[in-house]
Amino acid sequence: MTDIRPELSQCTLCADRFAATATGHRPNPVVWFQPGARLLIASQAPGLKVHEANTPFWDASGKRLRDWLGVDETTFYDRNRVAI
């Protein structure tokens, strides 16, 4: 199986759209997983906090999502368990 993580993290297909936003930042796909993770969370357009931290759901939406899922931060950010 080919490891697609490097290719995903370097994707710039939406660069024009990002450039047109209020912040004008460049795309920064946050690829956070190890093959074999049992839970996949797919999302789009992370906010500026996530973009700057390079950590998925590193904002209020992440806390809310972890609460909804009933998982603590350590479990949520275990790349072997949760693919984001």
Distance from C-alpha of 53 to C-alpha of 64, rounded to nearest angstrom: 18
Residues 10-33: pLDDT tens digits?
A: 888 888 887 888 877 777 888 888
Residues 50-72: pLDDT tens digits?
A: 878 888 898 898 999 999 999 99
Q: Which residue has the higher pLDDT, 35 or 78?
A: 78
Distance from C-alpha of 45 to C-alpha of 41, rounded to nearest angstrom: 13
Task: Give yes or no for a contact between 31 and 9, defined as CB atoms under 8 angstroms apart.
Answer: yes
